[in-house]
Amino acid sequence: MTGKHRENLPEWAREASLGIFIHWGAYAVPAWAEPEHIAGEAEPEGGWFKHSSYAEWYANTIRIDGSPAASYHAEVYGSAPYEDFLDQWRAENYDPAAWARLFSALGADYVVPVTKHHDGVTLWDAPGSKGWNTVDRGPKRDLLGPLAEAVRAEGMRFGVYYSGGLDWSITDFPPIRDAEDLFHRYRPNDAAYAAYATAHVRDLIDRYAPSVLWNDIEWPEAGKEDGSLAELIAHYRDAVPDGIVNDRWGADVWDYRTSEYSMAAEHETGIGWEHNRGLGSSFGYNHVEDESLTLSPRALAKHYADVVSRGGRLLLNVGPDASGRIPEVQLRTLTGVAEWMSSIKPYTADRSFPEVAVSAEADNWCRTWVSGDRLVVVADRPEDVKVTAPGYETVAIALPA
């Protein structure tokens, strides 16, 4: 199975620079994780998984003895099982059209919601998922179809995330405590699970024709060995000829590389790679994250400019609360950067890096890229940046205050 070279992405993906990730699930009910630890940075004592800042990993973290999440769960929910959160998740304020308008105002090129995370809950009536999906329980409806329609109505592309590597609803493994557990010991790899996951992703392809097929934590080994993964990807290529496939399958089927927070930074080379992260240190909504733990509009603008200047796309995560509202602390950043994004989005990098000379003083943060016949300069003080770029018009854009 051979993936296309990442520089041969379809035109829309080469031109795209901003995607919106959406992590929304039953984990939005407890909405809790330790917020202090950034993924890929120095591990806390006891390890990352015991102190995970990812609220979407709540079902795993509360099973680790001595974890703060386990203590929090016992204090707030007693011995209630994670399954209870699925029934408490109502999505009563879910407004996909409002979400889509917000993302469009940011200049997003594509939107990728989680369709099934590691807890196994599917956000549509996936084949074989009876009793463990949002149509049968909780919200009592397909959450994906209306979002796909709303996103496309605003002129953006629609993609899907699927956790092919983990599904805690169909396994009885111990909790994941380290990377060996994650990738080797406690990942379902049997033929039955491979068939189950394959049926899900095929259904997503046939129902929603996603422009992005985003898998996570590899793919069950049986599906790699029996050829069903190759057949699935071939089906996707036929169904969505200009669709793109990420690199987290544990097989050479990908179109582009990904990085996450401070992890896999070695993938941030060349052009067409994608960096994904949340507005805080979690993807799923974490009610502990306040303004001090959330990217400011200025910090988000810098992060976006840095990624684009190095040839990548930013896949920025939004984590709605259990009702379907985007939390105020996240909205503050998104609406606060929207005007700045509208000023910069016409100048998408064309992914070429001609010979130009740009210099800025050490205290003047600066990034540059070429957009057509323009050299884009983003800086604290763009007027103080020295540019030598024969044949290019300079577009100077200051970072938001």
Location of structure tokens 């998984």: 49
Do β-strands 366-371 and 374-379 pair in parallel, antiparallel, or remain unpaired? Answer: antiparallel
Location of structure tokens 């993936």: 3
- Name the nearest CA neighbour of 76 among 60, 58, 93: 58
What is the token pair recorded at 147?
Answer: 């979002």
Alpha-carbon span 188 to 151, nearest angstrom = 33
> Tens-of-pLDDT digits for all 401 residues of the chain?
444 444 589 999 999 999 999 999 999 999 999 998 888 888 888 899 999 999 999 999 999 999 999 999 999 999 999 999 999 999 999 999 999 999 999 999 999 999 999 999 999 999 999 999 999 999 999 999 999 999 999 999 999 999 999 999 999 999 999 999 999 999 999 999 999 999 999 999 999 999 999 999 999 999 999 999 999 999 999 999 999 999 999 999 999 999 999 999 999 998 899 999 999 999 999 999 999 999 999 999 999 999 999 999 999 999 999 999 999 999 999 999 999 999 999 998 886 666 778 888 889 999 999 999 999 999 999 999 999 888 899 999 999 98
The CA-based angle 297-301-303, given to 5 degrees, is 115
Quote the pTM value.
Answer: 0.96
Our measurement of the distance from residue 334's CA atom to the centroid of its chain's CA atoms, rounded to an integer in Å, reads 16
What is the token pair recorded at 199?
Answer: 């049926």
Q: Which amino acid would we find at residue 344?
A: I
Annotated domain spans of the chain:
6-347, 357-398
Location of structure tokens 């929090």: 72
Pick the CATH number of 6-347 from 3.20.20.80, 3.20.20.120, 3.40.50.970, 3.20.20.70: 3.20.20.80
